[in-house]
Amino acid sequence: MSPSSPGPRSRALGRRAGRVLVGGVDSPVRSFRSVGGSPVFFARGQGAYLVDVDGRRYLDLVSSWGANLLGNAPRGIVAAVRRTVAAGLTFGAPSPLEHELAEQLRRAAPALERLRFVSSGTEAVMSAVRVARGFTGRAKVVKFAGGYHGHSDGLLARAGSGVASQSLPDSAGVPSAIVGETLVARYNDPEGLAALFERHGPSVAVVVVEPVAGNMGVVPPRPGFLETLSTLAHRHGALVLADEVITGFRLRRGTVHESLGLSADLVTLGKVVGGGMPIGAYGGRRAVMETVAPLGPVYQAGTLSGHPLAMAAGRAMLERLTPSVYRTLDRTGAALAEMVQRLAEEERVRPFTGQRVGSMLGLFFASGPIVDDRGAEASDRARYARFFHAVLDHGVYLPPSALETTFTSAAIRAPDLARAEAAFRAGFRAARSGRP
Ligand SMILES: Cc1ncc(COP(=O)(O)O)c(C=O)c1O
């Protein structure tokens, strides 16, 4: 069955964009390559819904990859941006909004003794890794297979076999000398990590980890894993970088790594803290962060860093992140996960595993529990593609890739989910139909 979405205008825009933008998009996942078809072009968004250029309405379960925690175009954030824009777009010089947002962040996340704003999560992690190397005087970085930390050269590596020395670049154009400084371990595998430290301990500058993995579906840490990681790293003189670009201020008002047992020296943020504007931030222990210029020898800079509009949107977002927002997010997340699991059972789609942490939900057409990249990659992508298109045709926008996370926003209410039930049922029927 060929999907009826997107409509004719989206298709026409897709063709036009493809003649000037690489692949028609500015970030590969938006192209629908992994689910087939051509992307939906959006005209506007309000609250829980997006409207495409053909006038079709979709329940938004992508939330701009997690950034739109309060839904689309929250009135208070839009008003703050309007007020700020009237005063000037950019100064390339300090403005009070920067330290005001920094103060708000630190009050909620005390691990950020000192921080710096940049313009994307990629930049934040890339810069934090440089700081870790500058501070320790060591070169190697440990990451986990299936963990994504932006597209900087050294972090585009994953384990071919889980053996550190066999790191392979995920992207053409990344010299093997650079990726050779990246060691890839397996998430939720403390023994593997211990073996890696036995071999490479003295040269490891930093271990980079998502406290809840959100780039291989949703994979929570097993009890004790993050504690062991912290102990191993610190025992060997390496730093720990909690990449909270997704989880920070999404799972709670602040960072989440402490409550999961991770003892971090550096933390990265992005997405939610920019209120829908381009942002990244890295920070951590004062002694570590004060190696950054102008106080120290680690250079990092940005023409538009701390951009007034991002700072204003971030401030307005933080002002609205009350305990009741997180209660709503948790309730909605739980209701969505329960509905999806029930429908998969009713439609006898097996294997299927939904894994949820708060407002993050991973949908795997695989047997669970999924604990690492191997489990996630066992998910049947052809099934996900059929599921995705049927759900889309029924007015629900899911991530156009099987290994991405579904993000709910606080704008989604019970009636929105109830209306989405038919879409998910159609999705599971389509997912099942490909198998005899
Ligand atoms: C955990 C994590 N770190 C870093 C990044 C990179 O952020 P950005 O896309 O803003 O460069 C992402 C993006 O999804 C992410 O999920």
- What is the distance between the alpha carbons of residues 115 and 106, in angstroms, rounded to a whole number? 9
In terms of Cβ atoms closer than 10 Å to its own Cβ (0-12, 13-18, 19+), residue 346 is exposed
Atom of ligand 1 minimally distant from the CA of 147 = 1
Q: Mind listing the pLDDT tens digit for each residue in 372-414?
A: 999 999 999 999 999 999 999 999 999 999 999 999 999 999 9
**How far does the centroid of ligand 1 lie from the alpha carbon of residue 349, in Å?**
32
CA of 197 to the centre of ligand 1 (A): 26
Comparing 166 with 313, the larger pLDDT belongs to 313
Distance separating alpha carbons of residues 251 and 329, to the nearest angstrom = 9
Question: Side chain identity at 379, as an amino acid letter?
Answer: S
Which amino acid would we find at residue 281? A
Tell me the CATH architecture of domain 75-320: 3-Layer(aba) Sandwich (3.40)
Tens-place pLDDT, residues 7-56: 999 999 999 999 999 999 999 999 999 999 999 999 999 999 999 999 99
CA-wise closest residue to 233 among 282, 196, 184: 196
Q: Domain-by-domain residue ranges, the chain?
A: 8-69+322-433, 75-320
CATH topology of domain 8-69+322-433: Aspartate Aminotransferase, domain 1 (3.90.1150)
pLDDT for the residue 169:
61
Q: For residue range 144-194, what is the model confidence (pLDDT) as tens digits?
A: 999 999 999 999 876 333 333 345 567 888 888 888 899 999 999 999 999
- Minimal-distance CA residue to ligand 1 atom 8: 121
**Residue linked to tokens 């927002």:** 325
Catalytic residue chosen out of the listed positions 52, 189, 243, 265: 243
Q: In what order do the strands lie in the sheet with 280-284?
A: 114-118, 280-284, 266-270, 239-243, 204-209, 140-144, 182-185
37: left (phi over 0), alpha (psi -120 to 50) or beta: left
